Amino acid sequence: MLKKMKAGPSPPGERWQDGVWLLAALFLSGAGLWTVERGISWDHFRLFLTHFHFCFLLGALLIAALLFIAEAIRVQVILHLVGESLPLGRALQVALSTAFALGITPFGVGGPPVQTYLLKRSGIPLEKSLTVAATQAAWTVGFFVPVLPLVVKVGYGKTAGREELFLILFGLTWLAFLTACCYLLVTRPHLVYILTFKLTGILPPGLVPRRRFLARRVMGEWLRLSRTVKLIFNSGAAAILKVTLWTAVIWGALFVMGPLLLLGLGVHTSWLVLIARQIVIYFIISTVPLPGGSGLAELGAATVFRPLLPGSLLPGFIAAWRFFTYYLQLLVGGPILWYSLRSGQRVP
């Protein structure tokens, strides 16, 4: 017990709770697929495979590979903005491990700690590792702010129901609140001290004398983080544009997967409308605390693809769509995260 206490907390991904989240994600995803047509069987998958043209399978795999590589390159680009570098192989290892942690935790909260931990092990200073995680999360989520009003109009026009509009409005309000909080904390670091001091008031009486020390320590770490964040915004429009473009590539790879798989079934439809509706669905599931949006993602996909496919093909199609946009990152990222946490060597 003493040795375990001295060793400190377990690295992200080594706790038994992580396995529970993975099982929960898979269970919810299976329940979502079952609910699509009030039951699912192997006949649904067999029927889908019978009608699917497998030349499009190669295209889906290439797009999935592009998604993984784009994630790794975006990590490299952000590191370059703060004066650090990482080989592509190691960046890919970090990106895939992070994708796995994002996919099995509610709101993706496991992603940033895993990414920060692996970057720190790769020799990146802690404050810069935190900056990479914060910048990546901000660009990924911030994608929705400028495009959401447009895609609602393109994808739904006047057909969006009150429930969809309420969820969209709630999500936009939540994003605006988080953005305002982050801006205040970066530009007013003393607020971090005040906030930490107030929150530590709930500590046991014996720890209260250390409140000021803890508040100063947290404020010091946040000051270092804010300085590196400012480095990014002072890098110029061209540098920031690179992060934005690679973020667009990542989202684009996700959103073209559905139309591509439809082509594999011989279904031709407006890609613009289909992508717009997928963006709305992705935004809605990102505001719900489910691991990987499991369950809700399958149901949301059913609302998008149901008008285009017969009921007999819909469960198999959604399973294939979910495989390339979600299950694959678990299958690839999980073993890589396991290897990353147990290997003391860096990937060249």
pLDDT band at 241 (very low <50, low <70, confident <90, very high): confident
* Per-residue pLDDT tens digits for 96-145: 999 998 888 887 778 888 888 899 888 888 878 888 887 887 777 677 76
Mean pLDDT, range 307-330, rounded to an integer: 88
Structure confidence at residue 7 (pLDDT): 40
Q: Kindly state the average pLDDT of the residues 259-282.
A: 87
d(CA 296, CA 174): 19
346: which 2 tokens? Answer: 């860096």
3-class secondary structure, 85:
coil
Of 248, 222, 219, 191, nearest in space to 77 by CA: 248
How many helices and strands (H and E) does the chain possess?
A: 17, 0
Give yes or no for residue 6 having a pLDDT over 50.
no
Query: Span 137-155, mean pLDDT?
Result: 72
Question: How far is 272 from 274, CA to CA, in rounded Å?
Answer: 5
| Among the ranges given (65-69, 184-188, 318-322), the one the predictor scored with the smallest mean pLDDT | 184-188
Q: What mean pLDDT is predicted for residues 165-183?
A: 64
Residue 16: pLDDT above 50? no
Token pair of 140, please? 């990924």
Average the pLDDT over 174-193 and give the result.
Answer: 65
Structure tokens, 176 = 């605006």
**pLDDT the model gives residue 324:** 92
Work out the average pLDDT over 56-60: 91
| Model pLDDT, residue 4 | 38
121, 86 in Cβ contact below 8 A?
no
Task: Give the pLDDT of residue 72.
Answer: 94
CA distance linking residue 327 with residue 333, whole number of Å: 10
Most confident range, picked from 230-234, 235-239, 267-271: 267-271
The residue ranking higher by pLDDT, 241 or 253, is 253
Q: What is the mean pLDDT of residues 25-30?
A: 76
Q: Tell me the pLDDT band of 39, cut-offs 50, 70 and 90.
A: low
At 270, is the pLDDT very low, low, confident or very high (cuts 50, 70, 90)? confident
Question: Residue 292 region, left (φ>0) first, then alpha (ψ -120 to 50), else beta?
Answer: left
Q: What's the pLDDT score for residue 28?
A: 75
Per DSSP, 207 falls in state G
Residue 71: name the closest of 329, 312, 330, 346 by CA: 329
Would you state the pLDDT for residue 76? 93
* Residue pair 56/264 in contact by the 8 Å Cβ criterion: yes
Average pLDDT, the chain: 76
Query: Beta-carbon neighbour count of residue 291 at 10 Å?
Result: 25
Of 61, 87, 62, the residue nearest 72 (C-alpha): 87
